[in-house]
Chains A and B, each alone.
Chain A
């Protein structure tokens, strides 16, 4: 099954190698890995998606913790969360065939971000299935896809503040968890968000 981990790691050279090497050693293939800055200077946030046995979650999280540069690991699993991926898709299209692609993009709430005489570029954000859905209909419509660039999955747990460790370490500038939680957890996800999740 697919596992998703969010890891807060020190922003230093070699940290990515250490994390990647851990998965290599466990003979687990990384499906996607997204790294970027977090809410705190010097701390990067990784979202790692991998294919592993259903019981592997604990071992992977515990092994990640063994890396000195890893500050916190969250095994997202079945927890309530928001997942998003961004994709840029370049499609071959002439001025005559563009309108069909525009229509498809519209249905998927994607945006056209570049137009060239022989191609156009679509930007789409959503869960993986939504992106794969657009790719599928583009293929079925006979539009030739020239390039795809996908960011891989990014996730954030609903309500729950993930930076518990930073909080426990009393790092200045990080607010306490408890205050946030009560109100955020009670807020029902809007219809719009639900719609996004289901793909359309």
Chain B
């Protein structure tokens, strides 16, 4: 994450200006470059809301505080800036928690501001009092309680520094009502945080650089593992240069998709539990893995005992606590990925591109027929598969939309069938796997990038968790396209029950409202799609429509995501589609 200067001079600033804590809060946010916040008012934060009208900051009213946190998260992921969510004390604050944890697990820079009861009654179980700093302690990068107006500016400025520095993450600032009401002198510049304390473990030693360069030069079967950190560090160009110069194929984590262009010949696609067979085989066969800004999550390694047994491992990572956490590595370059790669590149003479290495040929040959996931020209069989929906969506949008997914089968299908060439175009909850994330996060993403086309891809289960945010999208008149992949099940749960629980579909079938009527009730246009030929026209209609648009895709009910590595299995022990389904997997696009 860059620690670039975002600060600008706020509306009311300079030594000698006396403001209320609430005014200082907004002025400081403005100074930190905030132009939009997502929130929900309530008693303990009312002084802040009262002061908002004096500041050029847009407030987006969500329908539930979880939505505010996800929207701030989506805003941050789409823009690279720090997202801001605001809530009142007590239930308002606790409703943020899922969203904060989501941002924490995916290292998203976010500042949450909560109101708190007056400092005089702190700890007395006052109305709507909750110990939110205690509650969020394990799911924030750091949090603060502010009880005096004079501490507001410096605390918020420090919160922004912490949120965006090193490995980014969410920071919560809990401001008591009396701190919002009290008067204090406001001087934005004087409130600047002291430089972040040096991290003694953050050092990319030149010996390690040379060691890494040696391993890379002598590797016969190297693979780059591309993670979310590439985007956080703005190192897409460096990774591209590195891969091209050394002719190394690139496998991506779910959150790394888009960091390396999917259409690039060296791109393998997604690794891990639902990664393509050849990607995981390449990792298992590799003699060198270069992990860039990824953390060897259990969803990408399978069982650790058999993970990439022949490979030396180089881990380039900004968080020292990730080194040797899951996978023991041979060389660790601890520091900013971009800087580390820039230090590494001069030691790597380019490889000739005339003769592709045996390694790339080996991977290419292992792709076989299943590599062709392009299903455009398949005959219509009367069935509608989620794969069709995602594929046609990719086609229609030319892969250029920002897609915000929920969690479950549709999320994996999106990762498999929508090819992302640009960073920050796939926004998804990877680490925490938060259902209900998509719609509010997409609201944040659309507000961050108003000129980009934004699509929600959600399942019928997750969509209903935060469907109330439809009215936020309507109120804000957002040009947001919403695709509900509706199979009448909690699909991924059903899939696990099918594979591992003898098809005991306990509590996974669900009856949903008519999403088109639900949309209409919000004053939003909607349409239902039941057959393959209806997909593209519906997508086209949504894209042409001004304002939110809901498409209810009624897809095959009991389809599963293949291939799949069962949790705890080795990366090469995958479940393949039992009878190859020609509708979904094969065919050619000529």
A residues at B contact (CB < 8 Å): 14, 17-18, 21, 25, 55, 58-59, 61-63, 65-68, 71-72, 164-165, 168-169
Contacts and interface: CB of A to CB of B under 8 A. Distances in A.
B199 interface: yes
B324 interface: yes
Q: Is the interface of B mostly helix, strand, loop or mixed?
A: loop
Contact of A17 (B137, B198, B321, B325): B137
Given A68-B162, A169-B197, A21 B137 contact: yes
B200 A62 contact: no
A58 B141 contact: no
A165 B200 CA distance: 7
A66 B107 CA distance: 13
B137 A18 contact: yes
Nearest to B324: A58
A199 to B, nearest CB: 34
26 contacts: A17-B134, A21-B137, A21-B138, A55-B324, A58-B320, A58-B323, A58-B324, A59-B321, A59-B325, A62-B201, A62-B319, A63-B321, A65-B199, A65-B200, A65-B320, A65-B321, A66-B141, A66-B319, A66-B321, A67-B142, A68-B141, A68-B162, A72-B200, A165-B197, A165-B198, A168-B200
Nearest to A64: B321
Nearest to B169: A66
B79 to A, nearest CB: 24
Interface in B506-556: none
B125 to A, nearest CB: 19
B160 to A, nearest CB: 13
Contact of B201 (A18, A61, A67, A168): A61
A51 B190 CA distance: 45
Q: How large is the interface on B (under 10, 10 to 19, 20 to 34, 35 or more residues)?
A: 10 to 19
Nearest to A166: B197
Contacts, number: 43
Count chain B CB atoms within 10 A of each CB in A25, A59, A62, A68 and give the residue with the most: A68
A14 B325 CA distance: 27
Contact of B133 (A14, A67, A72, A164): A14
Contacts of B142: 67-68
Nearest to A164: B200
Contacts of B138: 21, 25
A7 to B, nearest CB: 12
A168 B200 CA distance: 10
A18 B139 CA distance: 12
Count chain B CB atoms within 10 A of each CB in A14, A61, A65, A164 and give the residue with the most: A65
Interface string B282-322: 00000000000000000000000000000000000001110
Closest 6 CB pairs of A and B: A62-B321, A62-B320, A68-B142, A63-B321, A168-B198, A21-B137
Contacts of B321: 59, 62-63, 65-66
B97 to A, nearest CB: 16
Contacts of A67: 142
